[in-house]
Structure 1
Amino acid sequence: MSDIAVIDGVAYRWHIHREPQWSTNDGAKGLCIAVEPQENPQKILLMEYPFPPPNRHQQRPKVSKSDVAARIKEAMAVGWDPESRGKPFTYIIEK
């Protein structure tokens, strides 16, 4: 299931790419959201959130539509060009 964020008149489709997980081989990996333009998708954006602190009742971090839109803008500011081709662009979110 995917959702839509509209930034500067352009619609971007996004969905949960990976849930937070702990692995003895790779360590902790946080929530990851994949983003691509709704029309003419080229280069995918992978937004990686930090692994949540340990908790007895561990749940997936809550991510709002407005937060996703703000993070997409941040990724564009640091170099994600949704119209370019190539490997996915990974944007690591610092808390």
Structure 2
Amino acid sequence: MVINKRGSRPIVVDGTCYRWLVRRKPTYSQGLTWSPLSFAVERTDSPGCSTLVVRLASAHAGNWMNAAASPVLPSAVASAIRQALERGWQPDHPGSPFMLNVGDEE
């Protein structure tokens, strides 16, 4: 999975450059608040390698149920990247997406 440059945002965590993206429109299940907000992260110097998919506890801002939503802040993205690296995410190795669930504590 490669993250499109258009619409993505750069972030530097511990000296390494990453790109992250939150889907603009909610998926059907996010729109109905059946599934939470998620975003994807990849290293900019090795696109196409393992992608990090982070699922948050909050709803997507574009949900159709007017549920409370909070924005994804760069500090939360940096924290999720550090957690994923501690849990074994290898962003420079090819493989399936690494899933990380971030609970209410974030």
TM over 0.5: yes
> How far apart in 1 are the matches of 2:101 and 2:75?
18
Contiguous gaps of at least 5 residues in structure 1: none
Q: CA deviation at 1:37?
A: 0.4
Structure 2 length-normalised TM: 0.72
1:12·1:35 contact (CA, 8 Å) conserved in 2? yes
**Given that residues 58 and 69 in structure 2 are in contact (C-alpha distance below 8 angstroms), is that contact kept between their aligned partners in structure 1?**
no
Structure 1 residue 40 corresponds to structure 2 residue 46: yes
Distance in structure 2 (CA, Å) of the matches to 1:71 and 1:48: 10
Alignment of 1:58-69 (within 5 A): 58-69=67-78
Asked if 1:49 corresponds to 2:56, the answer is yes
Amino acid at match of 2:78: A
- Alignment check: 8 A CA contact 1:31 1:61 kept: no
Question: Is this contact kept in 2: 1:29–1:51, CA < 8 A?
Answer: no
Could you tell me the percent identity over the aligned residues?
28
Over the aligned positions, Cα root-mean-square deviation in angstroms equals: 2.0
